[in-house]
Homo-oligomer: A and B are copies of this chain.
Amino acid sequence: MNDKTKTIRDPIHGDIKLEGLFLELIEAPEIQRLYHIKQLGFAHLVFPGAHHTRFEHSLGAYYVASRAAETLNLDKEEKEIITCASMLHDIGHGPFSHTLEFILRNTLNVDHVDLTEKLILGKYDIFDPEEKEYIGSSSVNDILNKNGIDQKEIIRNIRGKTNKKPYLSQLLNSSIDVDQLDYLVRDAYYTGVAYGLIDTERFLQTLTINNNKLAVIKKGVGAVENILMARTLMYSSVYFHKTVRIAELMLSKAFEMIDNLEPFNFFKMTDAELINNLKKMGTYQYEIATRLKYRKLFKQVYAVSRSNLDEAKINAVKSLEDMNFRRKKEQELEESLNIPSGHVIIDVPFQELHQAEPRIDQTDIAIVDDRSTKNLDEYTPIAKAIRLRPIPDWIVMIIADEKYRDLIAGKAEKILFG
């Protein structure tokens, strides 16, 4: 079976060829499960084309990594490591991708990268026990073992911690990496929002290795500016679109309010399995699942942007970043206004945005020319502007059913800012 080749048609990158190790990996249950995890959570509720999944993205990241390995002339072993890491980097994602991740972080201090690590090392099993009877597939860990792949090195790559060859882990973890190079174009294609349509090929051809680190040659500055701009625009227009965010907050709340929640039980589920289970967890969960199914969403009933706030208020917002404090404030609002529990949600997006995408305001890219290596900032004022650009346009918002709009609007200021 190993000498076979398989060609998969991807609307983004065209035909992607797989053989050997990668043909085995693509059939592993951890990768197949990603067929059922939407890449953009609930973005399809605003952009109806956005049903694409982590499966396509994993395949795409693998492809971009293999193209980068070619243009950088990496050796066979390096290429194997970086393409393998790229294909596996998202297998630890729970249902709806990033949506529920902050709960894992808050309750167990764990994130999807930790789960990815466990799966690679074979310390965690993606199957329901019953499923195993019918599916004889080898796990990712089995396949890596069989093919003699250094699992620790794969994990270091995914975590951006390859000490000896920084350029290798930078390929998957830096201001511009293969993960972004795939998702920006892919998300642009499926949402129909053209901002993300970057020119991957042009960028890859200006990529180089300098003092063991990734760098871009001078004539690639335009390509870099274009990608950074694409990223910031996709964040404000799509990933943190108000309505998408509202749907995600509703799901999170329903999840968080499960009695005796053990988050780990849910993280191997698919999107659909989670929703199906949620429905059985209580009337509030049933309500939210039904609202999401038929797109009867809460609305933004109150919002303020950063520029409208003085320092005292900004500090008040900062304290809301503590989940427990935020929950207390939500309860205060609910109780004082006689709104049933779970029906007022406060959003303070800053922290979560930066956990979901730590690269959001990273622009530290080395630019090399004949004589020197300088930071991108030396060549263009765009990089700094991107770091300062506000995403999203609210610093705090309250969401609730439309019918509570006036009630809450009247009280919000007082409860949030005292």
Interface residues of A, Cβ cutoff 8 Å to B = 7-12, 14-15, 27, 29, 32-33, 35-36, 44-45, 47-49, 51-53, 55-56, 59, 130-131, 134-137, 189-195, 197-199, 201-202, 205, 218, 222, 225-226, 229, 233, 236-237, 270-273, 275-276, 286-287, 290-291, 293-296, 307, 378, 380-382, 384-386, 388-390, 393
Contact B11 A192 (CB under 8 A): yes
Inter-subunit contact B197/A32 (CB<8 Å): no
5 smallest beta-carbon distances between A and B, as pairs: A272-B272, A385-B385, A11-B192, A51-B51, A381-B385
Select A199's contact among B195, B273, B291, beta carbons within 8 Å: B195
Cα A201 to Cα B197 with chains together (Å) = 16
Number of copies: 4
User: Chain B's nearest CB lies how many Å from the CB of A54?
Assistant: 11
Inter-chain contacts of A45 with B (CB < 8 A): 35
- Contacts of A385 on B, CB cut-off 8 Å? 380-382, 384-385
Q: How far is the CB of A222 from chain B (nearest CB, A)?
A: 5
Residues on the B chain within 8 Å of A195, using CB: 199, 222, 226
- The answer to whether A294 and B135 touch across the interface, beta carbons within 8 angstroms, is yes
Contact A294 B10, beta carbon cutoff 8 Å: no
26 sample A-B contacts, Cβ–Cβ < 8 Å, listed by A number: A9-B202, A11-B49, A29-B294, A32-B294, A35-B44, A48-B55, A51-B53, A131-B290, A134-B286, A134-B290, A134-B291, A134-B296, A135-B291, A193-B199, A194-B199, A195-B199, A195-B226, A222-B233, A225-B229, A225-B233, A226-B233, A272-B275, A380-B385, A382-B382, A382-B385, A382-B386
